[in-house]
Structures are given as structure tokens and as C-alpha cells.
Amino acid sequence: MSRLKAWWSQPDQYDWVTTFLRQNGMLTSARMILAIVVGSSVLVPLTVLPSLSRPSAAEAITGGVAATFTIGVTVLWLTRWPSRRQSHAGVMIGALFVGGWSLVQPTAALAALACTAMAVTGGYVAFFHGPKLILFNSVVAAAVAITAVLRLADEANIATAASALWINAFLNLSVPLGIWGMSRAMGTYVQRSETDALTGLLNRRAFTPAVGDRLTNLPPGHTHLAVVMVDLDNFKRINDTHGHSAGDRALQAVAELLREHCPADAVICRAGGEEFLVALTAVTSDVVRLAAHFCTAVAGLSPKVTASIGTASAELPLLTGPDVAGPVDELVKIADAAMYAAKRRGGNQAHHSV
């Protein structure tokens, strides 16, 4: 029961999968592949309907509406990446159309065969979304498959119906579950590869892509991006005096302080060793007060440790464009230079680069 509850509580995967594809330059290719998959499904009702000598009103309406909806979804994939809500709505409506179109087929054999297409919507849900939509797709698939199999048992025989039920159960369960398992494994790998094991913050490799993604969803009124570089003063002395375990605890404490004092949507990473990076958007370029809070908070830790902090900022219009990695990395270099200026002045202070 606990495993089932843990599975049910898994979050929707759409946002992180979208971010992963965007950061790795695969969003366009993924969009084209999905457009091809969705677009090819239009051929099913468009080829079946003309082959029927006298299609019923239900067959004609269901096939026509399904084909129209599928064409619309294909156009959406060809032009843009949909939002999570659009994806939710699209896959739910798509699953209902596949199920409804299966039920109105003139023969039970064709209805049972059409139901296997629910594995496609199930696979999509398993990769991009979560357990709730997987359950929805599975319930629709089970209801349609059972209805078709009961018809098949009446029109043909029990053995044929049992075979059709097994094929539908195999495809509509194994495909989504297999893709779900691979998606979760990929998500775990991505999370571990982007996370600093000691502090739980992002690592340096993940910082710039995360900032770029942050800039695509700005709060109203935010006009500047600020980057803050934090470097602990004389950190080697803590390791030499108190041991490496004390140094690790100090790094964890600093990471917790950054989480506490930064806005919830700030991007925080351990840049390496005793260096930390913070990026945040704001309504002003002035982050001096925030940097001063960092200095004061770090100086209050035990064992005694202080920090040299450098800050840099830029107006957001200067960071717009298809590739913001260059401007963001330039801000990091400027903040790093400001941090070294603070260290040369004795440390335990912040310096803002104008």
C-alpha cells in the first residue's frame, strides 16, 4: 500500500521533461517527432471511413471529429511547444476520441484492434505526465477493451475474444509502464547529474541552463537579472583546524542560509569548492542589501567563517534572444571579479560591479 501511495503521489513530469529537452537543444526535434506521430493517426479514420459502404451517423461523426481534432493537435505541435495544461487537455480528449472511435466500429474485431491505439496515448502520458493521467487512460482503455471483447465473444468465439483481451491488456499496460519506468530512471539520472551531492544545490554545469529557463518565466515587473558570487574566506583553515567533516557541515550550513535568504525562485548552485552562485530577477539592479545579509548570516556560523561576495546585474532586455548562455556567463565573470575585489579588501564584505 505504501508503494502504491508513493507511486500515486509522483508529480507531473511535463515541466522537467520540457526543461531537459530545451536545455539540450532537443525541443524542436521532439516537437517534429510528436507532430509526425499525431499526424499519422489522422490516416486511420480517413482511410476507414471511405472503406465503409454505409457508415452510421455515429461512425461518421466520431471519425470526422477525431480527424479534425487530430489535425488541430498536429498543427499545434508543428508551430509551438504546448503548455502543460494544453498537453493535459489534449491527451485526455485524444484518449476519449480513440476510445469512442473504437466503440462505434461496425465489427467487434475492428473495435478490439482499434483499442490497441490507447497504448500510444498511454505511452505519451507515461513519459510526459504522471500517475493520475496514466490511470485515466488505463480506465478508458479497459472499458473500451472489455466492451469490444464482449462483442467479439458474441460475434466470434470465446478463444478469439480471450486473445484480443490479452493483446489489449499487454499493450495498454506494458507500454505505459515500461515508458514510465524509463522516464523515472532518466529523471533520477538528470537530477543527480545536475545536483551537488553535499549541499543538494545545483552544480555549476546546471546553473546557466537553469538561469536561462528562469528567464522564460519572469514575474511581472522584473527588469533586471542579478548574479551573486559567494566565496568563503580562509576556508582551508576550517578543514585544517576542525577536520573535513566540519568543513562539509559549514558548506551545508552556507547552502541552507542561501536558501533561507534568497527568493524562492532564485537559482542557487555550488560553483565548486567553497564558492556559491546565486541568480535572481528583480525590479531593480540593487542587490547590495541582499549581499550584506549574506555576509552577516555567514559570519554568524560556527565554526567561525566569513564570506567575500561579488555582485553584478544587467537589464533583462539585454539578455533576450535564443541563447542567453553567453550573457549569463559574462555576468558570472563580472561577479567573480567583484568577489575578488572584496577579498583583496580584507574579505567579509560585498562588492558590487557597476
Do residues 46 and 173 both lie within one domain? yes
- The per-residue pLDDT for 10 is 79
Whole-angstrom Cα distance, residue 148 to residue 328? 57
Given 150, 170, 194, which residue is the final one in a domain?
194
- The per-residue pLDDT for 320 is 60
Do residues 54 and 91 both lie within one domain? yes
Closest by CA to 112, choosing from 58, 153, 84, is: 153
Helix (H) or strand (E) holding 223: none
Q: In what order do the strands lie in the sheet with 275-282?
A: 202-203, 267-272, 275-282, 224-232, 307-315, 349-352
| Number of structural domains in the chain | 2
Do residues 252 and 156 both lie within one domain? no
The single residue listed with the C-alpha cell 552544480 is: 203
> What percent of the chain is predicted at pLDDT more than 70?
95
Q: Is 182 helix (H, G, I), strand (E, B) or coil?
A: helix
pLDDT digits (tens, 9 = 90+) for 215-263: 877 778 788 888 999 999 988 888 888 888 888 999 999 999 999 888 8
Whole-angstrom Cα distance, residue 137 to residue 99? 10
Round to the nearest angstrom and report the end-to-end CA distance of the chain.
58
Do residues 164 and 261 both lie within one domain? no
- The per-residue pLDDT for 125 is 93
- The per-residue pLDDT for 89 is 92
Do residues 100 and 158 both lie within one domain? yes
Beta carbons of 235 and 305 less than 8 angstroms apart? yes
- The per-residue pLDDT for 2 is 73
Whole-angstrom Cα distance, residue 229 to residue 324? 19
- The per-residue pLDDT for 103 is 86
Q: State which residues form the domain around 76.
A: 2-194
Do residues 182 and 325 both lie within one domain? no
Do residues 151 and 285 both lie within one domain? no
Neighbours of 271 (CB within 10 A): 20
CATH number of the domain encompassing residue 244: 3.30.70.270
Do residues 163 and 272 both lie within one domain? no
- The per-residue pLDDT for 269 is 94
Q: For residue 221, is it left (φ>0), alpha (ψ between -120 and 50) or beta?
A: left
Residues whose CB is less than 8 angstroms from the CB of residue 327 and which lie 6 or more positions away in sequence, other chains included = 314, 318, 319
- The per-residue pLDDT for 142 is 93
Do residues 41 and 134 both lie within one domain? yes
Do residues 219 and 153 both lie within one domain? no
Phi, psi of 202 (to 5 degrees): -65, 155
Residue numbers of the chain with a pLDDT score lower than 50:
none
Whole-angstrom Cα distance, residue 134 to residue 146? 18
- The per-residue pLDDT for 254 is 92
Beta carbons of 69 and 97 less than 8 angstroms apart? yes
Q: How far is CA 7 from the centre of its chain?
A: 18
Q: What global pTM score does this model have?
A: 0.70
Do residues 190 and 267 both lie within one domain? no
Do residues 212 and 272 both lie within one domain? yes
